[in-house]
Amino acid sequence: MELRKGMRVEMCCSEDGYGGAWFEGVILTVTKYRWRCKIRYDKFVTDDGNPLEEEAWLHSEVRPIPPYIQLPLQCSVGDAVEAYDTDCWWRGFIVKLLTGAEEELWVVYFPDTCTLKAYPHSDLRPAQEWLRGNWILAPQERSTVIERVIQYFALDNSEETHLTSGGEGDGKKRRRAVKSKAASLGRRASGKRKKLKITVNTTVSG
């Protein structure tokens, strides 16, 4: 599949604090030799309220919208997933299932930001990678830190788990990073979404 003008895509950001995040948008232009392109974001606007546009490297920072794959209802601990949060998708690993609430929540650990947060099944999708023009499921490779987090939660049988990471929990690092990006690029598009809260009592360190 060739990335071209008018195609809906996702763009990643290499700036600090955005590791593993993919923002949705559409390609406006592609340079003559197909090295760079201009993207219009879906969820960001300028100070005047116009859709925000930004240039990106076509082959390293841009990918098509991943094909829809139903996340199994019975996910497994350690599965690589992407969670929809603060208007973009973040790569992480499932480390625990929380039960006993109105709906089951999956606790996801994000290695790029060292944060943990719980999500309903509907906010998760299988992690995929765009490789040589084809989509493949992301390798289930886990670092020793991720294994340590999984082992901790395997020993924790409480219904409520407080999740802290470097002094910040419940995805605060991620939300602050995205807000910071919005501030540097323009005013964020309005829109609120319901936040899921869980209590916290452990620290994850790198």
Helix (H) or strand (E) holding 38: strand 36-45
Range name among 43-52, 69-78, 142-151, 190-199 with the lowest pLDDT average? 190-199
Q: Retrieve residue 147's tokens.
A: 């294994």
- Domain-embedded: residue 38: yes
Q: Domain range holding 60? A: 8-64
- Domain-embedded: residue 29: yes
Q: Which residues pair with 30 in a beta bridge?
A: 37
Region 62-82: what's the mean pLDDT?
87
Structurally, the chain folds into a number of domains equal to 2
102 in the same domain as 16 = no
Q: Which residue has the higher pLDDT, 16 or 4?
A: 4
**pLDDT at residue 109 greater than cutoff 80:** yes
Q: Retrieve residue 180's tokens.
A: 């910071």
- Domain-embedded: residue 15: yes
Distance CA(62)–CA(6), nearest Å, equals 13
96 in the same domain as 50 = no
Phi and psi at residue 126, in whole multiples of 5°?
A: -60, 140
**pLDDT at residue 16 greater than cutoff 70:** no
**pLDDT at residue 151 greater than cutoff 90:** no
- Domain-embedded: residue 3: no
3-class DSSP assignment, residue 84: strand
Q: Is the pTM of this model over 0.75?
A: no
55 in the same domain as 84 = no
172 in the same domain as 109 = yes
